[in-house]
Amino acid sequence: MAPGTLQSMSGGFLLGLVVLSWSCTGSSTAPAQVDELGNAPDDSAQPPREDTSSTPRDTGVPLEELDEDLARINGDTGYPDSRWVYSDTVVHEFQLFLTQDAIEALSSSPWTYVEGAFSEGDDYYSSVGIRLKGSSTYRPITGKPSFKLKFNYSLPEQRFYGLRHLTLHAMIYDPSMMAEYLSYGVFREAGVPAPRIGYAHVTLGDQDYGFYAIIETMDKDFIEGWWNDTEGTMWESEGCDFSRYNCYDVEEQGDDSNEDDLLMLVKDMNLDGREMYEAVKERVDWDEVMTYLAVEIVVAHWDGYAENVNNYFLYHEPSLDKWYFTPWSCDLAWAWYPWSSGSIGDYRWLPSDYTKGMFASECWGYQPCFEDLTAKVMDVAKLLEGMPISEQMDELYERIHDYVYADPRKEYSNDEFEQQVEDLRDWIAERPANIRSYWEMMGSGK
């Protein structure tokens, strides 16, 4: 566990996004009649909203049992409400409301928030920001887009189970619809700050948009769940390495937003050999960063930092003056490359593939750093071997199977889903032994 962390591990029609649940601060019972944005005819006539944030609805699962289950698989970031969003026992039902003008705005400017409304079960949230997301996975509103929801869009105190944001991934590239769930689980189990994940069935208006993953957003809520000092800044890499600092964007503004800290990290990362090793070791949480790189190798997250210089965040914890890596977009983990005719485990599965990032490359080339990384890779391989992955996949399969089969907008067949699940199960089971064999071959000079 890294120091400073809190955890161990159509014209005028309404679009609606729908998934199941309970109540939270900022919600109210949905009125009998609403306008296009989902607002009551007279909001002032509505009764005051009761703060039920600490009293989730009965889901049929005892709180103690759910707590234990969440701690085992996804961890518990400490807020009493948000853990229900990422429950391992349900698939939620969400509903989103948008005017035709908002729909047209998303068609022309998909990454700009528009105002809408959101409901789940009997709970209703007005003035919610909604936009599309994705780069290569981007799909228009007429397809199966991924969404970002901002509950404090115009109501600063509005939260959904204590959360300011939700990210809904369409899982365009993942036929198993399990890749992120399992890979983030390994990161978290290893002590690396990584998103929690839940699932939702989504409808828009009278149209079924299918099955989505709810991915924890890299925001203040995420920071509060992992670090003691939450006043640091979260930076997102825009597909760049440490060769320059001005290609990192502020994802979450903190009190220590001065770019000097990032500039010093970049400077140290550009040193060579022993100088790099000694300087960076003082600048970052070394145990966490080595573990992060090791998990990328073991779960073959090739679209992350070490192999593709992509999909990672940096957080600066000001009290400790330490930097941390956080993974993102693990839908291509487990050596999966959907643009070929191969299968799970066929792409970038060799540990030595994970040397494209300049820090990773320098670490592989400097023996003391490589020894640190090797020790962490062995630890993570052993961790993966001891995790109940097959049992988790059985439970997850039973929970999501019917939703996957019924998804009218998924971009692969039900047969492909079944095959991907089996291939994924087999590859993960073999991965720890394959990792050890590879390192043995390197040691023998083969």
Angle at 79 between CA 78 and CA 84, to 5 degrees: 110
191 HSE (CA, 13 A, CB side): 19
Q: Is 288 exposed, middle or buried (0-12, 13-18, 19+ CB in 10 A)?
A: buried
Element counts in the chain: helices (H) and strands (E): 12, 12
Query: pLDDT value at position 41?
Result: 33
Query: pLDDT value at position 67?
Result: 40
Are 202 and 17 in contact, with CB atoms under 8 Å apart? yes
Give tens-digit pLDDT for 208-225: 899 999 999 999 999 999
Query: pLDDT value at position 32?
Result: 34
Contacts of 62 (CB under 8 A, 6+ apart): none
Query: pLDDT value at position 273?
Result: 92
Give tens-digit pLDDT for 241-300: 998 777 888 887 777 667 889 999 999 999 999 999 999 999 999 999 999 999 999 999
- Please state, as a whole number, how many other Cβ atoms lie within 10 Å of the Cβ of residue 100: 14
User: How far is 100 from 300, CA to CA, in rounded Å?
Assistant: 42
195 HSE (CA, 13 A, CB side): 25
Report pTM: 0.83
User: How far is 439 from 380, CA to CA, in rounded Å?
Assistant: 13
User: Which range is least confidently modeled, 26-40, 175-189, 329-343, 409-423?
Assistant: 26-40
Residue 345 has pLDDT above 60, yes or no: yes
**Backbone phi, then psi, for 19, in 5-degree steps?**
-145, 165
pLDDT band at 416 (very low <50, low <70, confident <90, very high): very high
pLDDT band at 385 (very low <50, low <70, confident <90, very high): very high
The token pair at 21 is 């649940």
Give tens-digit pLDDT for 110-167: 999 999 988 898 888 999 999 999 888 899 999 999 999 999 999 999 999 999 999 9
How confident is the model over 333-356, as a mean pLDDT?
92
User: Which of residues 354 and 89 earns the better pLDDT score?
Assistant: 354
Query: pLDDT value at position 60?
Result: 31
How confident is the model over 103-114, as a mean pLDDT?
94
Query: pLDDT value at position 36?
Result: 42
What are the residues facing 252 on neighbouring strands?
A: 234
Query: pLDDT value at position 343?
Result: 87
Can you list the domains of the chain with their CATH numbers?
28-221 (no CATH), 228-444 (1.10.1070)
Query: pLDDT value at position 76?
Result: 43
